[in-house]
Amino acid sequence: MADRIHNFSAGPARLPAEVIDEARDGLLSLADTGIGILEHTHRGLPYRSVYEETVADVRDIGGISDDYEVLFLSGGASSQFHMVPMNFLDADSVADYVITGPWSKKALAEAKAVGRVHVAASTETTGFSTLPQAYNVSVNSAYLHYTSNDTICGTQFFDVPQVGEIQLVCDACSDLFSRTLDVSRFAVLYASAQKNLGPAGVTLVIVRRDLIERGRTDLPSMLQYRSHAQASSAFNTPPVFSIYVVGLMLKWIRRIGGLPALEERNRVKAETLYHCLDSSYLFSSPVEPQCRSMMNVIFSAGDKQLDSQFVSAAEKEGLIGLAGHRSAGGMRASIYNGMTLSGVQRLTEFINWFESSNAGEF
């Protein structure tokens, strides 16, 4: 039964079976300590080595230099929506936001509660089916914030926005560590783990050290990157299990050949699915081809009833999590790192079957 299930959820999402196996062993005993990962103190050597190895692997696999701090924080990517402006937006500057979907709108709304914001570009009038061509940035811009992959609308940036010297802050929640990335282009990058990197409960935040040092000091400690950096992400009790599983995920990424190999796998999965949709007369993707996400594939039959028939018929075949976001409708197949090519092929076979079994109705 378990083998039949292919989980296309947008997050928490499918993880590689080997990673789950290793995590199960770690629950009973972390290495040969005889104590499980859930029960070790975060001040003890066994957990500290898990943490240190995980940070070292983030740096090594992501190609991240010592100019950056690698932090594991709680509160989800959603907490970064306010932490970024609280630390880096002062009374003399404006924060620029690129609006490409519901997540960037949320980030903007939170920043608005902190300081002055400006929309540098928005694709809302296109129904978020494309990405901006140009940016209108503020003269005294503190940073430009954008969402590299819109998990709900299914768009993805394949190039960094060209905005000159302005500091880039990126919500990479649904595509960090799914492909190669030149981290040196960014001031801040953040992603909660539950899409490509592990379980919910921890957010990976990569921040330039000089910015942390210049950041505001008149904030509660939990809201300053400085406190978390000084305490090696243990300013308060860290989500030890989530960090442990992120560590296992990173070792899995290394085993399969690192980010270049992972990117190639993810590209093949996405191409397989988009090719199926582009050859379909029933289903189509609303997203412009050059900005189609490799992570979240949005599609629809253009008919609410057919879409919901598709979702329930798919469920009966063990293809679950395919309903679009509650605000968007239609379908969404999330094909993060943990999804296999054979899972995607199962979905394309089902799409073809559904289409031919409905053929009489068109």
Ligand X SMILES: *Cc1c(COP(=O)(O)O)cnc(C)c1O
d(CA 85, CA 66): 23
247 and 54 Cβ atoms separated by less than 8 Å: yes
Residue 147 or 300 having the CB closest to ligand X: 147
Examine the residue annotation and report whether 269 is marked as an active-site residue of this protein: no
CB of 266 to ligand X, least distance (A): 16
Kindly give, in sequence order, each residue whose CB lies less than 8 Å from that of residue 271, ignoring residues fewer than 6 positions away. none
Q: For residues 276 and 331, which CB has a smaller minimum distance to ligand X in the complex?
A: 331
Q: Find tokens 């000159």 and name the residue.
A: 164
- Please say which residue, 62 or 239, places its beta carbon nearer to ligand X: 239
Cα torsion 287, 289, 295, 300: sign: positive
85: preceding bond cis by omega (within 30 degrees): no
Q: What's the min distance (Å) between Cβ of 102 and ligand X? A: 9
Give least dist CB 217 to ligand X, A. Answer: 26
Q: Is position 195 annotated as part of the catalytic site?
A: yes
Buried b (16+ CB within 10 A) or exposed e, 69-107: bbbbbbbbbbbbbbbbbbbbbeeebbbbbbbbbbbbbeb
How far apart CA 330 and CA 349 sit, in angstroms, is 19
Minimum distance of ligand X from residue 149's CB (angstroms):
6
Of 174 and 266, which CB lies nearer to ligand X in the complex structure? 174
In whole angstroms, what is the distance from residue 226 CA to residue 186 CA?
Answer: 18
Of the residues 96, 103, 175, 307, only one is catalytic, namely 103
Is there a catalytic annotation at residue 159?
no
Pair of tokens at residue 65: 């230099």
Cα angle 179, 37, 70; round to 5? 40
Closer CB to ligand X, residue 276 or residue 339?
339
- Which of 30, 77 has the CB closer to ligand X? 77
> Closest distance between ligand X and the C-beta of residue 327, in Å?
13
> What percent of the residues of the chain are helix, what percent strand, and what percent coil, each to the nearest 5?
40, 15, 40
Contact residues: ligand X, CB under 6 A: 11, 76-78, 103, 147, 151, 171, 173-174, 192
**Farthest CA pair distance, the chain:** 67
Residue nearest to ligand X (CB): 76
| Active-site residue (options: 57, 96, 150, 171) | 171
Catalytic residue among 57, 195, 269, 307: 195
Q: Least separation, in Å, of the C-beta of 78 and ligand X?
A: 3
Active site residues: 103, 171, 195
